[in-house]
């Protein structure tokens, strides 16, 4: 089942397996973000921490051995015709996550644990039971839930949460997701189901049930963000940031908009020039409206467009090829042009 989901990550054009893996693991380097942008998988960033690289590469090797992937260069694979057919069938049968982009700005894993403990505590509180085993013994999470609980009206909290969850669950389009959500809750005399138990109940595989559980948590987070009076809003707010762009990159970008002088920004912010450039690349990856023309003049843009006019696979454009034609070209300009073209394709 895991191998099937790995197959879904590949395309008929070459993709670097380690780049895809780093997207899932949430490495926020520019190279990883660029891999996510070119593959169309930025919405999967940071969504899968539990799989080691060895298992991911083993799945890639298995798909190669069974003829569904083929290696086009060291570290790169693409779909074979058999893999393309298999992928099309899998997209019709496997559960496909809908809201993993929430990972970009929210610590989903921590909220999942925090919210599970909060739900358990409220359930036991409503039934006046003080003798139970908490779903987590993490002192930081327990302290966070205790602080949240002190700020709530204990008389009304049970009814408020019941009403909020009912509204959320009835809003879900997938009929299986309410079951996934509810059966995963541990409460008064009700231990939550494991992924294995849930998979058996739904007639799916454990890995698939795990993805469904994660996705419904992401949908819940999005719901809470749209309903700021939700009882869980306070628990969520401290685990959410306003943007996927790092704070330091945003500061560099704001300085760039004012001065357009990279060397001056590096000196003022006590950063290496390479760091300033990486910050701007990061912002450009996340921002379709990035002012590319402030770095890339019209002549350079036209020259690069001519060089790669016959090559639609942006991720595999060669810097060496571009630099041979344009000896003064630096990699920052080349990468920024690639990002610009990706953003234009996505519009």
Q: Output the DSSP codes for 272-323.
A: -HHHHHHHHHHHHHH-TT--GGGTS-HHHHHHHHHHTTT---GGG--HHHHH
Q: Specify if 218 maps to a domain.
A: yes
Identify the band that residue 346 occupies on the pLDDT scale cut at 50, 70 and 90: low
Ranges assigned E (strand) in 76-166: 76-79
State which residues form the domain around 333. 247-346
Q: Specify if 70 maps to a domain.
A: yes
| Percent of the chain clearing pLDDT 70 (strictly above) | 99
Q: What is the pLDDT of residue 266?
A: 97
Tokens standing for residue 275: 């760091």
Which among 204-208, 282-286, 311-315 has the top mean pLDDT? 282-286
Q: What are the tens digits of pLDDT across the range 193-227?
A: 999 999 999 999 999 999 999 999 999 999 999 99
Q: Specify if 99 maps to a domain.
A: no
- Domain end residue (candidates: 94, 120, 146): 94
Q: Specify if 264 maps to a domain.
A: yes
Identify the band that residue 147 occupies on the pLDDT scale cut at 50, 70 and 90: very high
Identify the band that residue 161 occupies on the pLDDT scale cut at 50, 70 and 90: very high
Q: Specify if 101 maps to a domain.
A: no
Q: What are the tens digits of pLDDT across the range 245-257?
A: 999 999 999 999 9
Together in a domain, 159 and 189: yes
In sequence order, the 6+-apart residues with CB closer than 8 A to the CB of 55 are 2
Together in a domain, 260 and 158: no
3-state secondary structure of 242: coil
Together in a domain, 233 and 254: no
Q: Specify if 103 maps to a domain.
A: no
23: domain CATH number is 1.10.10.10
Q: Specify if 9 maps to a domain.
A: yes
Element containing residue 16 per DSSP (H, E) = strand 15-16
Average pLDDT score over residue span 134-154: 92
What sign has the CA pseudo-torsion 9, 12, 17, 20? negative
CA 181 to CA 170: how far, in whole Å? 12
What sign has the CA pseudo-torsion 38, 42, 44, 49? positive
What is the number of structural domains in the chain? 3
């Amino acid at each position: 089942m895991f191998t099937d989901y790995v197959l879904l990550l590949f395309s008929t054009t070459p993709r670097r397996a380690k780049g895809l893996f780093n997207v899932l693991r949430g490495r926020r380097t520019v190279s990883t973000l660029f891999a996510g942008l070119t593959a169309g998988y930025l919405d999967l960033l940071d969504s899968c921490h539990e799989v080691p690289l060895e298992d991911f590469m083993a799945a890639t090797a298995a798909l190669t051995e069974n003829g569904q992937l083929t290696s086009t260069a060291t570290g790169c694979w693409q779909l074979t015709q058999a893999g393309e057919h298999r992928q099309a069938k899998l997209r019709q049968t496997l559960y496909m996550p809908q809201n993993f982009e929430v990972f970009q700005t929210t610590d989903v894993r921590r909220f999942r644990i925090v919210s599970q403990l909060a739900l358990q505590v409220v359930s036991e509180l409503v039934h006046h039971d003080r003798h139970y085993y908490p779903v987590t013994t993490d002192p930081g999470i327990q302290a966070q839930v205790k602080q949240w609980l002190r700020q709530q009206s204990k008389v009304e909290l049970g009814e408020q949460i019941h009403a909020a969850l009912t509204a959320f669950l009835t809003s879900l389009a997938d009929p299986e997701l309410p079951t996934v959500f509810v059966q995963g809750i541990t409460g008064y005399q009700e231990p939550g189901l494991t992924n294995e138990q849930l998979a058996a109940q739904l007639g799916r595989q454990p890995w698939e049930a795990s993805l469904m559980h994660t996705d419904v948590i992401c949908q819940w987070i999005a719901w809470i963000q749209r309903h700021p009076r939700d009882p869980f809003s306070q628990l969520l707010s401290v685990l959410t940031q306003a943007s996927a762009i790092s704070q330091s990159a945003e500061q560099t970008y704001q300085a760039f908009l004012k001065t357009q002088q990279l060397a001056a920004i590096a000196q003022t912010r006590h950063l290496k020039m390479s760091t300033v450039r990486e910050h701007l690349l990061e912002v450009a990856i996340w921002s379709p409206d990035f002012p590319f023309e402030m770095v890339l003049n019209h002549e350079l843009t036209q020259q690069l467009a001519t060089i790669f006019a016959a090559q639609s696979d942006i991720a595999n454009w060669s810097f060496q090829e571009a630099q041979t034609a344009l000896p003064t070209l630096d990699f920052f300009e080349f990468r920024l042009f690639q990002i610009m073209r990706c953003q234009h394709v996505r519009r």
